[in-house]
Amino acid sequence: MLQLSGGETVLLQSSMTLPGDYACKLGLRGSLGAVDQRSGQFYDVWAERSIPISRRGWRRRYEHALWRAPALQPGEYQTMDGLLFDRVLRLLASGQAPDIDVWDMATWRAVTVLSERSIAAGGAPQPMPDYTRGAWMTRPPWDPQPL
Q: Is the Cβ–Cβ distance between 37 and 26 less than 8 Å?
A: yes
pLDDT of residue 137: 85
pLDDT in tens, the chain (147 residues): 777 777 777 777 776 677 776 666 667 777 777 777 777 777 777 777 777 766 556 666 666 666 665 666 666 666 767 777 788 888 888 888 888 778 888 888 888 899 999 999 999 988 888 888 888 888 887 776 666
Please report the pLDDT score of residue 64 as a whole number.
65
Provide the residue type at 123 as one letter. G
* pLDDT confidence of residue 119: 92
Does 2 map to a domain?
no
**In sequence order, what are the residues at sequence separation of 6 or more whose Cβ sits closer than 8 angstroms to the Cβ of residue 57?**
none
Does any domain span residue 59?
A: yes
Same domain, 92 and 112: no
Q: Is the domain of 31 the same as that of 59? A: yes
Q: Please indicate, yes or no, if residue 108 is contained in any of the structural domains.
A: yes
**How far, in Å, CA of 60 to CA of 7, rounded?**
31
Alpha carbon distance 13, 131 (integer Å): 23
d(CA 52, CA 62): 15
| Residue 111 within any structural domain of the chain | yes
What pLDDT is stored for residue 56 in this prediction? Answer: 59
SS3 at position 66: helix
Q: How many domains does the chain have?
A: 3
In a domain, 38, yes or no: yes
Domain that holds residue 44: 27-63
Angle at the Cα of 111 from the Cα atoms of 139 and 89, rounded to 5 degrees: 65
- Three-state DSSP state, 50: strand
- Residue 123 CA to residue 77 CA, distance in Å, equals 38
